[in-house]
C-alpha cells in the first residue's frame, strides 16, 4: 500500500453539497409521486393544499439531500504526488482509492447545467484499471479544475513542473490547435438520415393512417412509449454532440462537446486501443462517417466519451485517424484506407470471404475481409452499413478464432481481436481457415514486437532519440506528410482546405 503521510490533502469546493442536493431531492420527489399520486388524487383536498404537500416533499428532500451531501463532503479529500492521485471518501464505508498517473487514460472536465451556470466543474479521471478504478472530483471551480487537469496531464507525460517564488509547482496549459467543429446543420442532417429516425417517422405515419382508417386511436397510444423513447434517444444524441470540437495539443487530442452539459476531455497519445469508422446507408449521399474508439477505462456503457468525431467527411476521417495512428505502415496508405472504407474484393491486398462461402454471406462475401499492414490490422465489414476497424499491433490484447458447424465443413473461420471494452468489436466472419491461421501467427509475432518497441507511458519523457524526435514514416500520403511526429512529441497540425463541406469550420 502506498504511503499517504506526505501528501498535501485538499477538499472539494464548499458548494459541492448544494450542487449534489438536488439529485437527492429529485429522487425522493419521483418516489413520492410514483407511490402516492393515486392516493392524493382520491383525497378531497383543495389545489393549494395539494401544491403545499408537494412543495413540502420537495423541501424535505432538499434538506435531507443537503445534509447527507454536506456530511459526504466533509469526509472527502484528494491529494496528488509525483506519480499518483489519491481520493479518500465515504460516510458509512470509507474508500481509499488512487490512480497511478502512468496508467492515466483520459481526463475529462464536465459541467452539468447547474454547475455550468455557477462556474463550477467536475473532474473525471479515467485509468487503465477499468471503470471501478476511475475517480471523480466534484465539484471544483472551473479554473481550478482546468489547472488540476493540466497538472495531471503534465505529470502523466513526465513534464517537469514549474516552481514559482513561493515554492508552489505549476503546470502551464499546453497550447492547442483547433481542427474541426461540427456544425448544427450537419448534426441535424446526420440524425435525419440515420436509419432509426427514418424508421420512427415511417412508423408514426403508418400508425396515423391506421388510426384514420379504423377510427381507433388505441394503436397510436400503444406506440406512444416507444416513439417517446426513440425521440429521447435522438435528443440525447443532439444535445450530447452539439458543438463538437476537436483540437490537438502536446498533451493529446482535446475534445469539447455538449449543449446543456458541457464536457471537455483530453485523450493522451497512444491511449486509443481500437478505431472504427462506420457509415449508415443514407450517409453515403453526403460521404459522412462516424468515428468511435475503444479507450481503456471507459467501458462498453460509455457513449459520448468514445466518439472521436460524430460526423466526418472521408478526408476529415483520414486526418482524424492519423492523429491517433500516425503511420498506417504501408506504401499506399490512402489507397489502402479507401479500399477499407468503400472497396470490396481483394483490392489493395485485402483478404475476403472465399467464393465457396458466398451463400453464407450472399451480399457481403466480397466486402467482408481483413488486411495486415506494418503497424495495424484492418477489418472490413458491411455492404449497406459499412464499417472499417483498425487495431494497432501494440494494442492487440489477444487473438481468437471460432468455427461453427458450417464453417468447419467449408474450412472457414471467424476471426476476432480482443480489445478493451467499448463500442468497437474487431471481428470478421467466414474467412479462409488456412490463410487466417497464417495471418494469426504473423499478427502474434508483430504484436509482440510492437509492444516491445512501443514508446514510454510518460510520452514526453526524453528517449534515446530525444523528446519529440521525428522519425521516418509512411504517413497518410496526401493527408499527412511522409515525415510524421511520433507519439513522443507534439501531434501534427491539420492541413488546410481538406474539404469544401460546409459542416467544417475553417481554421
Distance CA(352)–CA(336), nearest Å, equals 14
- Report the alpha-carbon angle 29-34-37, nearest 5: 95
pLDDT at res. 218: 67
Side-chain-facing half-sphere of 77: CA atoms under 13 Å: 8
pTM for the structure as a whole: 0.79
Same domain, 233 and 144: no
**248 domain-assigned:** no
CATH code, domain with 352: 2.30.29.30
Helix axis angle, 333-342 to 314-324, nearest 10°:
120
pLDDT at res. 500: 36
Same domain, 111 and 21: yes
pLDDT at res. 220: 64
Same domain, 174 and 191: no
- Report the alpha-carbon angle 321-327-328, nearest 5: 75
pLDDT at res. 492: 34
Strand partners, 85: 80, 99
pLDDT at res. 199: 78
Same domain, 199 and 158: no
Same domain, 113 and 226: no
Cβ atoms of 490 and 176 within 8 Å: the answer is no
Distance of CA 482 to the CA centre of its chain: 29
**498 domain-assigned:** no
Same domain, 466 and 324: yes
Same domain, 129 and 215: no
Same domain, 361 and 394: yes
239 CB-near residues (< 8 Å, 6+ apart): 258, 259, 260, 261
**268 domain-assigned:** no
Domain range for residue 410?
Answer: 313-485
Whether the link from the prior residue into 161 is cis, omega within 30° of 0, is no
Same domain, 343 and 475: yes
Cβ atoms of 185 and 501 within 8 Å: the answer is no
Phi-psi region of 297 (alpha: psi -120 to 50; beta: other; left: phi over 0): left
**7 domain-assigned:** no
Same domain, 234 and 91: no
Could you give phi then psi for residue 447, rounded to 5 degrees?
Answer: -65, -40
> Which domain-ending residue is among 192, 210, 238?
238
CATH code, domain with 85: 2.30.29
pLDDT at res. 302: 60
Cβ atoms of 257 and 241 within 8 Å: the answer is yes
Strand partners, 400: 416
**405 domain-assigned:** yes
pLDDT at res. 98: 86
Q: Based on the structure, what is the number of domains in the chain?
A: 3
Distance CA(394)–CA(453), nearest Å, equals 9
pLDDT at res. 465: 40
Q: Which of 130, 473, 153, 446 is nearest to 325 (CA)?
A: 473
pLDDT at res. 201: 78
Please list the rounded mean pLDDT of every run of 10 residues in the chain (507 residues). Answer: 72 90 73 64 64 77 84 91 89 86 85 89 82 82 91 76 60 80 95 81 79 71 71 89 92 90 83 94 96 79 79 95 91 94 94 94 94 96 96 94 94 94 94 94 93 65 39 42 30 34 34
Q: Name residue, grid cell 474508439.
A: 293
Q: Which of 397, 409, 338, 403 is nearest to 371 (CA)?
A: 338
**496 domain-assigned:** no
Strand partners, 98: 86
Strand partners, 278: 290, 387
Distance CA(322)–CA(309), nearest Å, equals 13
Helices and strands counted in the chain (H then E): 12, 24
Same domain, 463 and 328: yes
Same domain, 47 and 78: yes
Amino acid at each position: 500500500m502506498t504511503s499517504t503521510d506526505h501528501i498535501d490533502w485538499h477538499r472539494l469546493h464548499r458548494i459541492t453539497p448544494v450542487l449534489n442536493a438536488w439529485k437527492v431531492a429529485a429522487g425522493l420527489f419521483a418516489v413520492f409521486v410514483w407511490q402516492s399520486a393515486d392516493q392524493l388524487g382520491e383525497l378531497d383536498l383543495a389545489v393549494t393544499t395539494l401544491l403545499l404537500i408537494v412543495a413540502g416533499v420537495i423541501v424535505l428532500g432538499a434538506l435531507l439531500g443537503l445534509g447527507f451531501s454536506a456530511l459526504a463532503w466533509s469526509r472527502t479529500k484528494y491529494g496528488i504526488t509525483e506519480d499518483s492521485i489519491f481520493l479518500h471518501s465515504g460516510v458509512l464505508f470509507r474508500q481509499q482509492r488512487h490512480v497511478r498517473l502512468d496508467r492515466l487514460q483520459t481526463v475529462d472536465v464536465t459541467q452539468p447545467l447547474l454547475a455550468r451556470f455557477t462556474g463550477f466543474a467536475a473532474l473525471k479521471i479515467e485509468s487503465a484499471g477499468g471503470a471501478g478504478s476511475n475517480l471523480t472530483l466534484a465539484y471544483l471551480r472551473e479554473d481550478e479544475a482546468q489547472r488540476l487537469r493540466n497538472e495531471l496531464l503534465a505529470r502523466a507525460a513526465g513534464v517537469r513542473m514549474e516552481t514559482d517564488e513561493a515554492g508552489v509547482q505549476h503546470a502551464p496549459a499546453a497550447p492547442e490547435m483547433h481542427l474541426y467543429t461540427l456544425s448544427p446543420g450537419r448534426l441535424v442532417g446526420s440524425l435525419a438520415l440515420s436509419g432509426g429516425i427514418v424508421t420512427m417517422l415511417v412508423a408514426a405515419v403508418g400508425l396515423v393512417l391506421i388510426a384514420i382508417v379504423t377510427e381507433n386511436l388505441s394503436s397510436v397510444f400503444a406506440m406512444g412509449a416507444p416513439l417517446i423513447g426513440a425521440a429521447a434517444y435522438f435528443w440525447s444524441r443532439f444535445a450530447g454532440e452539439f458543438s463538437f470540437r476537436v483540437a490537438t495539443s502536446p498533451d493529446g487530442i482535446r475534445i469539447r462537446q455538449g449543449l446543456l452539459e458541457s464536457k471537455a476531455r483530453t485523450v493522451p497519445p497512444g491511449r486509443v486501443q481500437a478505431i472504427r469508422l462506420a457509415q449508415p446507408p443514407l450517409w453515403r449521399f453526403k460521404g459522412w462517417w462516424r468515428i468511435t474508439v475503444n479507450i481503456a477505462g471507459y467501458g462498453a456503457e460509455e457513449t459520448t466519451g468514445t466518439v472521436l468525431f460524430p460526423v466526418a467527411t472521408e478526408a476529415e476521417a483520414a486526418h482524424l485517424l492519423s492523429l491517433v495512428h500516425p503511420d498506417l505502415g504501408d506504401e499506399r496508405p490512402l489507397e489502402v484506407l479507401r479500399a477499407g472504407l468503400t472497396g470490396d474484393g481483394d483490392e489493395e491486398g485485402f483478404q475476403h470471404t472465399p467464393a465457396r462461402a458466398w451463400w453464407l454471406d450472399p451480399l457481403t462475401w466480397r466486402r467482408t475481409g481483413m488486411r495486415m499492414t506494418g503497424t495495424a490490422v484492418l477489418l472490413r465489414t458491411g455492404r449497406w452499413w459499412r464499417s472499417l476497424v483498425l487495431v494497432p499491433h501494440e494494442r492487440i490484447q489477444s487473438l481468437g478464432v471460432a468455427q461453427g458447424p458450417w464453417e468447419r465443413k467449408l474450412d472457414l473461420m471467424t476471426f476476432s481481436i480482443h480489445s478493451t471494452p467499448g463500442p468497437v468489436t474487431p471481428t470478421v466472419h467466414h474467412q479462409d481457415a488456412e490463410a487466417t491461421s497464417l495471418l494469426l501467427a504473423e499478427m502474434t509475432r508483430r504484436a509482440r514486437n510492437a509492444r516491445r518497441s512501443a514508446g514510454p507511458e510518460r510520452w514526453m519523457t526524453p528517449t534515446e532519440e530525444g523528446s519529440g524526435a521525428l522519425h521516418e514514416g509512411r504517413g497518410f500520403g496526401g493527408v499527412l506528410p511522409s515525415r510524421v511526429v511520433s507519439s513522443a512529441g507534439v501531434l501534427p497540425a491539420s492541413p488546410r482546405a481538406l474539404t469544401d463541406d460546409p459542416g467544417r469550420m475553417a481554421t
